[in-house]
Structures are given as C-alpha cells and as structure tokens.
C-alpha cells in the first residue's frame, strides 16, 4: 500500500554519516539481520538521537532483566496502542511474534488494554478518590 512520505526523507546506507553508520552496524550485529526498518532510517538525520534511542532500546529490551523479553514487547504494544501509533503497533507486534507471542496472547493483550482504558475513564469521570490501602 502506498503511504505518505516521512517528514524527513529516509536515509539509505550510502547517505549515513559515520556516527549513524556505526549505529546501523550495531543494529545489524545485535539483531543478526541485514534489515534496518524505516524508523532508524528516519532517525538517522539526528545521529545523537539515533545513538541514544538505539542504545536505550538495546539496553532495556533484551534478555537478562527482571522482566522477560516477551513481556516487555507486550508492554510496548500496549503503550503503542494507547498512543495510537500505527507504526509502533505494527513493528512491536511483529517483534512480539518474533519472540514467541501467539495469536491468542495478542488477542488477550488487546482485551486487557481495552478493559484498562475503560476502567481508567470510569475512575477519572467518577473522580474516585484513592483508597488509603493503595497509598
């Protein structure tokens, strides 16, 4: 499907400055694939932000943390859904599948996201005071 062009053009490998190229190299090595998705190509106009953002995701989304990598991807999909970010829902749903998420888990996730959005608005609209037990 044809889509809008991005705000700043996606940079090809040939157009990268050395700092951005080093990040792309690390993305390829970390993920063990030659594929670089559009998000990083749009971000490459600002190598400092590219470095920071990739560094942050690499640090928090991989193994060896208190939360399981799949759980972290599911949380990412949940936030992206609430923020209505199509790119993010698609890319992190793909990542969640790559980490083993089943269709049933994805469907269940959206049931929880939906219920939370519902009860969030009830608590806000009814102006429910926080119980002492939760403080």
Identify residues 51-90 at the interface with a copy of itself (CB under 8 A).
52-53, 55-57, 59-61, 65-67, 71-72, 74-90
Is residue 108 a contact point for a copy of itself (CB under 8 A)?
yes
Is residue 19 a contact point for a copy of itself (CB under 8 A)?
no
Q: How many residues sit in the footprint of a copy of itself (CB under 8 A)?
A: 86
Kindly state the smallest distance separating residue 132's Cβ from a copy of itself, in Å: 9
CB closer to a copy of itself out of 22 and 94: 94
Is residue 28 a contact point for a copy of itself (CB under 8 A)?
no
CB closer to a copy of itself out of 28 and 52: 52
Token pair in block for residue 37: 């998705």
């Amino acid at each position: 499907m044809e889509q809008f062009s991005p705000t700043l053009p996606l940079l090809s490998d040939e157009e990268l400055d050395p700092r951005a190229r080093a990040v792309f190299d690390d993305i390829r090595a970390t993920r063990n694939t030659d594929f670089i998705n559009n998000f990083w190509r749009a971000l490459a106009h600002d190598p400092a932000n590219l470095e920071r953002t990739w560094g942050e995701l690499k640090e928090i989304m991989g193994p060896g943390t208190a939360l399981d990598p799949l759980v972290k991807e599911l949380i990412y999909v949940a936030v992206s859904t609430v923020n209505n970010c199509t790119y993010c829902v698609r890319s992190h749903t793909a990542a969640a599948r790559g980490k083993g998420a089943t269709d049933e888990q994805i469907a269940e996730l959206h049931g929880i996201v939906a219920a939370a959005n519902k009860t969030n608005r009830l608590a806000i609209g009814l102006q429910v005071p926080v119980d002492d037990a939760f403080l």
